[in-house]
Structure 1
Amino acid sequence: MHIGVLEDDTDQQDFIEQCLIAAGHRISQFTRASELRRAIQTQAFDMFIIDWRLPDASGMDVTMNLRQHDGWKGPILFITASDEEENIVLALESGADDFLSKPLRPRELSARINALARRTGFQAQDTREQLGAYTLHSSQREVQFAGEHVKLTEREFRLVSLFFNHPGELLSRARLLEVVWGINGDVSTRTVDTHISRLRRKLTLDGSHGVRLRSIYQHGYRLEAQAMLH
């Protein structure tokens, strides 16, 4: 799905982006309502995630404008730091289809998005992401490598999607646990290491084919494409 995210907090933007990319979605980020309004004139979206408090508007107003003036029929997920009943009612009456209060939890966010997609009859189309000799297929939840389709588990695909959409970026074990498993706090990261090791073997991410999934001691992992390899 192509999801438009209207959120001005950069930390929340990064968190939502990593969660949605790991789930196989494509996203466009906006920090101001005016940016989103310009974008809908030239881009097609499947869903919007809208925050309440924005620099140049209220999320409520944006939602109402999308429904009443733009004729937007797709799903809208409203997010805010407040979970008071009155605010939830206001969001839904303004045109939102669902409501989530912060702090957002990765697995719940993904589940709510999937539920909204089912409710609105959305049919996912296959999107492809290319990195070197590797191609990610979103609908099949698999990677094509050396002419062969490599079947991955759901968590393996979420991991590889996250890395392939953030090449060169150091991703900590804690962040991987949070985004892919939905786990917060001081927990063992052995599960991450086990999945990374299996992913390396399945996709030969050792640099021999132009892409390497590298362990950064005591920090996490980084996917390095050919231009980064030495």
Structure 2
Amino acid sequence: MRICLLEDDMAQLHLLNMWLCQADYTVFQFSTGRSLMASLRQQSYDLFIIDWNVPDLSGIEVLRRIRLRFGEKLPVIFATQRDFEEDIVEALNSGADDYLVKPVRKNILLAKVKALIRRAYPVSATKLLSFPPFEIDTDKSELYRNGEAVSLTNKEYLLALELFRNLGRIVSRTELFQKIWGQDGSPSMRTIDAHVSAIRRKLPLSPDNGYSIVPVYGFGYRLDCQSPAEDS
């Protein structure tokens, strides 16, 4: 899981980063609100931990922009020294999922992170994922449409799996490149776009089958549920 951490106190930033990395999370650190928002042009995150009082763009404004851009699904925790009732109410009403008053305790933070991830990204006990008319058998690495296997390369299968697992969520090209090709650095736009075109054609992903891949300019892709009526 990719956690975005916004904190301008370097000692606190280092401490939170250490705790999260020890728990096997991938952490991206920012000390200003604008640098975090700028990163969203290239990166995507699974959870945010945000301080309120940070330079140039307050944590509460960052939260509002995240909600405006990505909706309600992405979990956000506030970790701040502000302990007044009106501050807690404002943060929760602005879209925060939880609120921690500093000093943050390690075990409480990790428990809240785990709980929010469990709620936002439920893991099915079965190895067969169902997105009618599609099914994905993660044991066999096979994707089926109406019960018939679709012929996909390994990379095409992994890309389709990642998009279905993040249904309705924007996934950056960088994240796709790292997860599927296992490489750091700048992704090859041509490589990813070619594979997206392939699975769009082979499945096919169209309103007739209930889904469409939406390109997000300069960022990545989002797989949406879409009925024929919505497309007309």
TM-score by length of 1: 0.51
In structure 2, the partner of 1:48 is 48
In structure 2, the partner of 1:91 is 91
Runs (4+) of structure 1 exceeding 3 A deviation are 69-72
The verdict on how the C-alpha distance between 1:68 and 1:101 changes in structure 2, with shifts beyond 3 A counting, is same
**Rounded Cα–Cα distance in structure 1 between residues aligned with 2:111 and 2:83:** 19
Cα distance, 1:117 vs structure 2: 0.8
Cα distance, 1:71 vs structure 2: 3.8
**Aligned AA for 1:100?**
L
In structure 1, the partner of 2:66 is 66
**Rounded Cα–Cα distance in structure 2 between residues aligned with 1:85 and 1:103:** 17
In structure 1, the partner of 2:78 is 78
Corresponding residue SS for 1:45: coil
Structure 2 residue 108 is matched with structure 1 residue 104: no
The verdict on how the C-alpha distance between 1:29 and 1:123 changes in structure 2, with shifts beyond 3 A counting, is farther
**Rounded Cα–Cα distance in structure 1 between residues aligned with 2:30 and 2:123:** 25
Residues 73 and 120 in structure 2, CA contact (< 8 A), matched pair in contact too: no
**Aligned AA for 1:121?**
Y
Cα distance, 1:47 vs structure 2: 0.4
Cα distance, 1:69 vs structure 2: 3.6
**Aligned AA for 2:113?**
I
RCO greater where, 1 or 2, for CA within 8 Å and sep 6 or more?
A: 1
**Rounded Cα–Cα distance in structure 2 between residues aligned with 1:84 and 1:48:** 22
Corresponding residue SS for 2:29: strand
Give the 5 Å matches for 1:209-228: none
Q: How many residues align?
A: 124
Two-structure CA RMSD over aligned residues (Å): 1.6
**Aligned AA for 1:89?**
V
Q: Give deviations 1:194-222, integer Å, cap 9, x for gaps.
A: xxxxxxxxxxxxxxxxxxxxxxxxxxxxx
Q: Equivalent pairs: percent with the same residue?
A: 42
Corresponding residue SS for 2:5: strand
Q: Give deviations 1:25-78, integer Å, cap 9, x for gaps.
A: 010000111111111111121000110001111111110111114446310001
**Rounded Cα–Cα distance in structure 1 between residues aligned with 2:32 and 2:123:** 29
**Rounded Cα–Cα distance in structure 2 between residues aligned with 1:77 and 1:41:** 21
Unaligned runs of 5+ residues in structure 2 are: 125-232
**Rounded Cα–Cα distance in structure 2 between residues aligned with 1:41 and 1:122:** 26
**Aligned AA for 1:119?**
R
Unaligned runs of 5+ residues in structure 1 are: 125-230
Cα distance, 1:82 vs structure 2: 2.0
In structure 1, the partner of 2:23 is 23
In structure 1, the partner of 2:198 is none
**Rounded Cα–Cα distance in structure 2 between residues aligned with 1:78 and 1:93:** 12
In structure 1, the partner of 2:113 is 113
In structure 2, the partner of 1:155 is none
Range moving further from structure 2, 27-36 or 71-80: 71-80
Cα distance, 1:122 vs structure 2: 4.6
Cα distance, 1:83 vs structure 2: 1.9
**Rounded Cα–Cα distance in structure 2 between residues aligned with 1:59 and 1:4:** 13
**Rounded Cα–Cα distance in structure 1 between residues aligned with 2:53 and 2:119:** 27
Range moving further from structure 2, 65-74 or 110-119: 65-74
**Rounded Cα–Cα distance in structure 1 between residues aligned with 2:91 and 2:79:** 9
